[in-house]
Amino acid sequence: MELYPLKFEPILKERLWGGVKLKSVLGKPIESEITGESWELSGVAGDVSIVANGDLAGTSLKQLLDTHAEALLGKEVVARFGKEFPILIKFIDAKQDLSIQLHPNDALAKIRHNSLGKTEMWYIMDADPGAKLIVGFNKEVDREEYSAHLQKDTLPELLNYENVKRGDTFFINTGKIHAIGAGVLLAEIQQTSDVTYRVFDFNRRDKTGNLRELHTELALDAIDYEKKDDFKVTYADEPDKVNAMVDCPYFKTNFIHLTRDFEQVLSMRDSFTIYLCVEGKASVVNEHGSVTLKKGETALIPANSKYIHFKTSGAKLLEVTI
């Protein structure tokens, strides 16, 4: 199968905490004023991405995986994940603070939900002055102290707040308590999983006046209570080079700052490649076709691609592989 660079229709999600930056900053076709997420590339059941470009337009990612799994994913990826797409790509706009939450590891998620865990990373695309993230605890905490603060609605007193700006990057391993703060627009790269344990939601009510569900008991055995400073990702920004960002068992992410045309040889890579455009614009070309990416757009490059050629006068890209 001659698989060209694929773009997909965004799957837009209204959220209690969402806003309009997905449209005003990234150009997404949203109509509501509380759109919180744009799922760019998803194999999650019920939210499977649909090809938006070329001869395969209208084809679902599941259909492609059913018929061309090795060509699309790579032999090693198929051996590990079967015909399931292992990465979920999102853009998230937080007009309000998100709930304080965490995600279980693979073992817990498998037992409880027949799912993978959820390891993720965030790349900040836009941040209002004073915008913050919550990542981890600000002191050593045990289960009893955590539970006591949760019961008194004082959990935020235990949490670590991080000021953020455009380009900041964070790695959120399973068990780490976290939340995206108001005024943050970010790209999220994660395992294919939609399992989240919400533990504190500032006593907010949804549009029907109900408090949102909390997962207090489920979270107790999933939380990493240690204070750790392992979340901020430092990376080089050398133009026209591949700069390593995150290398974990679930995905590898690189930062590529292009100032001119550039070529990536992929023939030795037994994995699909995803490119997220976070600044500028670039044409992405393989031996079977091309697609133009602008800020806020994502492309999937099939594993059987021998090369990728970028045509650009300026772009910043996140490159994701397995």
Mean pLDDT of 130-138: 98
Mean pLDDT of 214-223: 96
In 3D space, the residue among 274, 273, 280, 311 whose CA is nearest the CA of residue 295 turns out to be 280
pLDDT of residue 194: 87
More confident residue, 170 or 204: 170
Task: Kindly tell me if the per-residue pLDDT of 1 is higher than 80.
Answer: no
More confident residue, 175 or 1: 175
pLDDT of residue 4: 98
Cα–Cα distance, 310 to 303 (Å, whole number): 17
Mean pLDDT of 124-151: 97
pLDDT in tens, 75-84: 999 999 999 9
303: left (phi over 0), alpha (psi -120 to 50) or beta: alpha
Cα–Cα distance, 15 to 216 (Å, whole number): 21
Task: Kindly tell me if the per-residue pLDDT of 207 is higher than 90.
Answer: no
pLDDT of residue 206: 79
pLDDT of residue 209: 86
The runs of H, that is alpha helices, within 16-139 are: 21-24, 61-73, 75-81, 106-113
Mean pLDDT of 260-279: 96
pLDDT in tens, 58-72: 999 999 999 999 999
Strands of 147-196, DSSP E: 159-163, 169-172, 178-180, 184-191
pLDDT in tens, 300-320: 999 999 999 999 999 999 999
Residue 212: pLDDT band by 50, 70, 90 thresholds? confident
- Residues 15, 112, 166, 198: which is the catalytic one? 198
pTM over cut 0.85: yes
Phi, psi of 63 (to 5 degrees): -60, -40
pLDDT in tens, 88-130: 999 999 999 999 999 999 999 999 999 999 999 999 999 999 9
Q: Mean pLDDT over all residues of the chain?
A: 96
pLDDT of residue 203: 86
204 is catalytic: no
What domains can be seen in the chain, in order of their start residue? 11-220 (2.60.120.10), 242-321 (2.60.120.10)
